[in-house]
Structure 1
């Protein structure tokens, strides 16, 4: 069963707003002459600068139907009786020194996405939970911190130091972790399979029920989750709907709950943390080799290989510096992967230092040991020998610039070639030996000037790129009609029919040229084009 860590940023709109304010702005923005005594900043928001001196209560406002209302309040404002949905005028009358600002839900969402991406140092699988929380799938990665408790403490302590305090919990299911993070003591960790006992004492709101069920249950004397768990399921479904039963099953693990992770979830993840931040290029190269050894050892133990690797350097200021490489064939050779990564380390900006390095693998698939041949030399296959070269070219030039031309079922030249990865299995389609094609097909046919006998003789001379060439030998024509269902020739020339010729000039160079259109068809005069070169 999976292990889920739930993070709840209790007052996220206030937290994000306070973190954007300079140290003195809150005290300067407080209305003068208020009767309320100075108060320290709330425990749920603000950075370290907000805790150094008195600061007024804060509320964020939103317009609803022409009326300004409170969309979020900090702890100090809530202690004075202000609440979400209250009119801004009434709030100002109750708390004269209230500091107000416009609520920015889009900014809150963007900040939560940044926090989600930052949490990748703890787990490669992180999902956004509503408007103020996160889910981390920590199965198989908590041991990198020395256990789930140490991992949870590290995450929440870092957020608190950065002025974004949060609560957290760990359980087998997202529903149970969500409930424990919000209603149980902070940093509760449910033992595997033991969330039911911890949920029993929590209020029914911990099950994330709909508003109608949450309002109806207390009127029937059902205040705690344990009371619901003791009722027959048929009565629960009949009285409160199938949604209530589903939420109970999701919390207990009887029903699955889908999470939308910011990146594909993968167990192939490793992490290195340092006692002192590193920044020198030589140190980055060394830890790159070390973490590749760790992850590749796990892949080899499980008989797996991966095609894509992402190495992320996590800086002290919370920013990430990713470096990515791909392989043409699944692999797990740590030395080879590190060699592909090292040329890209020059672009990594360590800032004030790197404190954590993570490496995760994607496109993982079974990989057996390479089968060597039975001859005396014991060599490997051609594909295995080319793989390191292909990988270097792809990672240096780009994946879209290294490819192999494979035949494709179409008589139109432009459509008869398909791009494939260099070491992909060969296509079942083959070239027609009776219709040879040039080794190099131009991306677009180029216009040429031709001298030829009418109506269908091959050219005796043509000019291409400013150079005149006399034809010594010629074969053809090979007539290729239009694929009328695709209109493939509309952009090439005015003709709808092509007559192709294979010609050789006096120097021995061979060309593939065609005439677009027919003489005497009543339309514009045909045009000649050069489409390819034979090797």
Structure 2
């Protein structure tokens, strides 16, 4: 018998051998270092597995399984009670982070994810695909496993993120139908009754629903299921309600009768400011900006806004600023609702006025006057010039808030009017190396100089760029025959050619 190649030896136990047919990476998922865990929650009248990690899934525990069955299957598995409130709080914190860092429109999905609207801000993160990669890296560093899907609609992104094959899926524009067609019908966020109907009629994937007419499909699955399908395809809008970063102080007025006169609008503004002032006082805040939204009877909105140079909650001052915006409100057929928001607030505490009441000093605050002027001509038209630590004249002055501290100006004389950029001079007659010009032409007119003072040598700031390492300017204060005083300079010291080309420029006018 042995010659024929047969042996009557006992076979090994079938449950003790392993099949080397496929690599380990294909059949057995890589288990995490920590112990497997599953979350148990009450669904209806029984306890079910709400979530399970990859290790628990490899042991046969999956969401939807009865808790008793899971404990009997794996007795030593780490079972913990589910905390949906804590999960929702964590998702809300992530949404607030998304609003602050990535996009102003972000919200928590109905299940266990986050919606982020990248419209208009994807280019700030290097494009949609690059943003998806960065988001995956961020979640990995934070200790989360995530799946990211980017599509034209929120429904398609929701379905691909949960039932897609890859961790990052970026769908091209106009290719939603082809992308979600292979997914199961559960990806459309259907109700349990609609899912049972899909199984009864043989609808397994979304591709099975696409060729069916909407009328028969609504009779079989229900109108909500058709709406979900249209939302995923983009035929029906599904707006995302964004999560506000902070609770913005706001007050509202709903009127019994629509109004349209300026006096009535002013009266409503005063009432809104009284309520907002009390709200800000309770929170210890002062308003830096206000936004008034007036809703007309035709459904359109009229929005006006004001800003203040310092935080305040003084009703009279804010009402004076809002009254300047009444002429910009078009009441139309009438306004029936007002909403006043304070999107920008700052802490505002009590101010000590003991010295002022005692008469020791007089405090003059220009903030109110600045707010009124800015309300008429615009906030950018009012500024204060402050000195900057720089030897180059055009860099030595900067614009700042009109209520800011001006600082200490340098001791050397500077013209009252300093040009933003020096202007070239032509026809200059001057003796080298350090004499002021005797004649020059500027803006098509010749000037004959009778007096001059200088030079004041200014070297370039070599730490900014290499071109200023050897740069030299010699400034002169000169006066012409008519009494005009000008501030001119020559590039170069008149000796070394590398310091400048000896061209003449005018940089300012003294008076």
TM score, norm. by length of structure 2:
0.54
SS in 2 for 1:112: coil
Instruction: Please give the alpha-carbon distance, in whole angstroms, between the structure 2 residues aligned to 1:345 and 1:77.
Output: 54
Q: Residues 238-277 of structure 1 correspond to what in structure 2 (within 5 A)?
A: 261=244, 264-266=246-248, 268-277=249-258
Matched, 1:425 2:402: no
Contact 1:80/1:95 (8 A) holds in 2: no
Contact 1:62/1:103 (8 A) holds in 2: no
Instruction: Please give the alpha-carbon distance, in whole angstroms, between the structure 2 residues aligned to 1:424 and 1:109.
Output: 52
Alignment counterpart, residue 89 of structure 1, candidates 186, 193, 208: 208
Aligned to 1:78: 194
**Residues 446, 109 of structure 1: alpha-carbon distance in 2 compared, 3 angstrom cutoff:** farther
The structural deviation recorded for 1:354 is 2.9
SS in 2 for 1:62: helix
Structure with higher RCO (Cα < 8 A, 6+ apart): 1
Instruction: Please give the alpha-carbon distance, in whole angstroms, between the structure 2 residues aligned to 1:10 and 1:281.
Output: 45
Aligned to 1:439: 416
SS in 2 for 1:98: helix
Aligned to 2:396: 416
Aligned to 2:425: 448
Q: Deviations over 1:472-508 (max 9, x none)?
A: 3322111111112223978xxx993211112223333
Aligned to 2:239: 112
The structural deviation recorded for 1:85 is 6.7
Q: Structure 1 stretch 369-378 or stretch 394-403: which is displaced more?
A: 369-378
Matched, 1:497 2:460: no
Matched, 1:515 2:490: yes
The root-mean-square deviation of aligned C-alpha atoms, in Å, is 4.3
Aligned to 1:401: 381
The structural deviation recorded for 1:458 is 0.8
Aligned to 2:259: 278
Instruction: Please give the alpha-carbon distance, in whole angstroms, between the structure 2 residues aligned to 1:371 and 1:108.
Output: 63
Contact 1:438/1:533 (8 A) holds in 2: yes
Aligned to 1:479: 457
**Residues 466, 66 of structure 1: alpha-carbon distance in 2 compared, 3 angstrom cutoff:** same
Contact 2:181/2:205 (8 A) holds in 1: no
TM score, norm. by length of structure 1:
0.52
SS in 2 for 1:456: coil
Aligned to 2:439: 461
Alignment counterpart, residue 217 of structure 2, candidates 81, 86, 98: 98
Contact 2:384/2:406 (8 A) holds in 1: no
**Residues 91, 355 of structure 1: alpha-carbon distance in 2 compared, 3 angstrom cutoff:** same
Instruction: Please give the alpha-carbon distance, in whole angstroms, between the structure 2 residues aligned to 1:105 and 1:512.
Output: 68
Q: Deviations over 1:387-426 (max 9, x none)?
A: 2221122233333331101111111112211221011234
Instruction: Please give the alpha-carbon distance, in whole angstroms, between the structure 2 residues aligned to 1:351 and 1:485.
Output: 60
Aligned to 1:371: 353
Alignment counterpart, residue 178 of structure 2, candidates 63, 83, 101: 63
Instruction: Please give the alpha-carbon distance, in whole angstroms, between the structure 1 residues aligned to 2:233 and 2:492.
Output: 58
Q: Deviations over 1:260-301 (max 9, x none)?
A: x2x5433x3222221223333332222112212222244456
Aligned residues: 329
Matched, 1:307 2:288: yes
SS in 1 for 2:253: strand
Instruction: Please give the alpha-carbon distance, in whole angstroms, between the structure 2 residues aligned to 1:95 and 1:356.
Output: 39
Q: Deviations over 1:63-121 (max 9, x none)?
A: 237658766488899388248973333675698733779856696998525x55xxxxx
Q: Which runs of 5+ in 2 are unaligned?
A: 1-88, 93-106, 112-175, 219-225
SS in 2 for 1:326: strand
Q: Residues 5-404 of structure 1 correspond to what in structure 2 (within 5 A)?
A: 62-64=177-179, 67=182, 72=188, 78=194, 81-82=197-198, 86-89=205-208, 92=211, 97-98=216-217, 103=230, 112-113=239-240, 116=242, 127=243, 261=244, 264-266=246-248, 268-300=249-281, 304-316=285-297, 319-361=300-342, 362-368=344-350, 371=353, 381-382=363-364, 384=365, 386-404=366-384
Instruction: Please give the alpha-carbon distance, in whole angstroms, between the structure 1 residues aligned to 2:213 and 2:480.
Output: 95
The structural deviation recorded for 1:380 is 5.0
Contact 1:326/1:391 (8 A) holds in 2: yes
